[in-house]
Amino acid sequence: MKLLVVDDEQDVQYLFQQKFRKEIKSGEVQMQFAHSGNSALDLLESIEDRNDFCVLTDINMPEMSGTELLKRIKNLYPVLKVIMITAYGDEQNILLAKQNGAEDYFTKPLEFNLLKSKLNKLELT
């Protein structure tokens, strides 16, 4: 499983690496990180097998919101799976994410066991 985690907070990378430590060590999970929507799009463009990735993106980021990133990803790479992560679990954001093609929506603090369960159910080709 290949994951691209997009979050402007630097400590999120460390958190994900710790929570997926066993999966990374066994080779079950590969992770890439981007700290902005623009850098995520640049990274996706540079990856040949980008359709194998699932993007996990925060909603509230400077420059480009996760919602805008979701729209751009779905426009450029419609088969790419995107999961939204945010501190705000309001109905409007959830509905907007689903309408724009998000696979799912998780609120912070993130329940990593639920996230892993969802990722295992996704069919990543």
Torsion region of 27: left, alpha or beta (phi above 0 gives left; psi -120 to 50 gives alpha): left
Q: How many domains does the chain have?
A: 1
Closest CA to 23 of 96, 88, 95, 119: 119
For residue 61, give the DSSP letter. Answer: -
Q: pLDDT 10s digit of each residue in the chain, 125 long?
A: 999 999 999 999 999 999 999 999 999 999 999 999 999 999 999 999 898 999 999 999 999 999 999 999 999 999 999 999 988 878 888 889 999 999 999 999 999 999 999 999 986 54
The CATH number for 80's domain is 3.40.50.2300
Burial of 2 (0-12, 13-18, 19+ CB in 10 A): middle
CA angle 75, 124, 3 (to 5 degrees): 80
Interacting residues of 51 by C-beta distance below 8 A, sequence separation 6+ = 77, 79, 80, 125
Sign, CA dihedral 99-95-79-70, equals positive
pLDDT for residue 24: 97
Q: Which domain holds residue 117?
A: 2-121
> Between vectors from CA 4 to CA 16 and to CA 84, what angle results, nearest 5°?
80
